[in-house]
Structure 1
């Protein structure tokens, strides 16, 4: 009898400029093992180098987003823990540095590295049944997947300490109040909501959106003088594409522009 094919741990769909990556270990609430970390790294690298990708959606299968790292998965006893953490950190950096907008579509639990995977995206859409926790302390661990950097920037130092030290579970409404979720929509509506949102982002000017994302990420640690210099530099890059004049013309003609990001300097 032929064996049934094993489902991939990461589902990958591309449509209309939007690449949707679905964590696919529903029996583990999409907890991430070594195979899935590797698949995410490869997918983010491919998104970075493919000009056809204009937005990325990250979600989970089976009614959960991600239960964090799979601590039950077997690991090579000869592999130093630092090597495993380098793999995790590489994935976090790849996600953070993607030049295209990223959306986390969260339904169900997002805890530990799974929550930080969502927070590493530019926008987070959740449902009322979503639950979140920086669960590390309850496992005798400290924050990872960028949580120690992301949380203070998003909620301030005191609330970040509350989330990290108490490791309590919070609901979507509380996460939204703290600024850790961008929108909360009904579970029956989230697919259409995210599809519309991703489509709007994919239709935007790719070079300008990449510059905006980089400026906001980088300028959080810069002085105003540094930020203004960076803004001037990136604006010059935008004016070297066809998108800025195309937008001006579309505005004058009272229509929507068609953004391509094409270089316009001969």
Structure 2
């Protein structure tokens, strides 16, 4: 059995299972000593998450076929000390939990305000919002889907779990980077409509990275982006809808 190592998509390198374990055990063990194998199912769609993982020195493998879901479950049952995690299942700092906590530059009141602003209602999505202290150079907002729920929905889509999980709404976590400078800009914005539009644009950008922005929401995002870039010279405000 071999892995395709997606450390560099321009260079194909293959490992046996044991070779890959040895190659990743130094950096990719969590606080409990479990080896975390990061993977991507779509290197193009998930590129921003792959690049963020690579910046931390993590390796990412490509598992993109239907049978790979069964392979993952089988290997996790065989290896109790190994867990597979899709690279976009969480923010990069949380993919491999090493019990490292970075402080947010926001006060408690500011964090509460930010969480309130980013708690938006989105049809067919169950949204959770959290504020984390990430690098100022990281994106201001990340949208991630919990690994377990996503796996169950994927299996349901392939006919393996009936209709229960398939009918559940998508669960998305919006992680707001409390150390990104744009947050202070938003908090200081005295025009409510402009503040709402900026927040919704950041939310939509994060959803777009997960392929979850479609239809009318996508159209509103495009119109809103144009207005924001033009400084609202046309006097048109596109409220979230």
- Scaled by the length of structure 2, the TM-score of the pair is 0.26
Indicate the structure with greater helix content: 1
The TM-score normalised by the length of structure 1 is 0.25
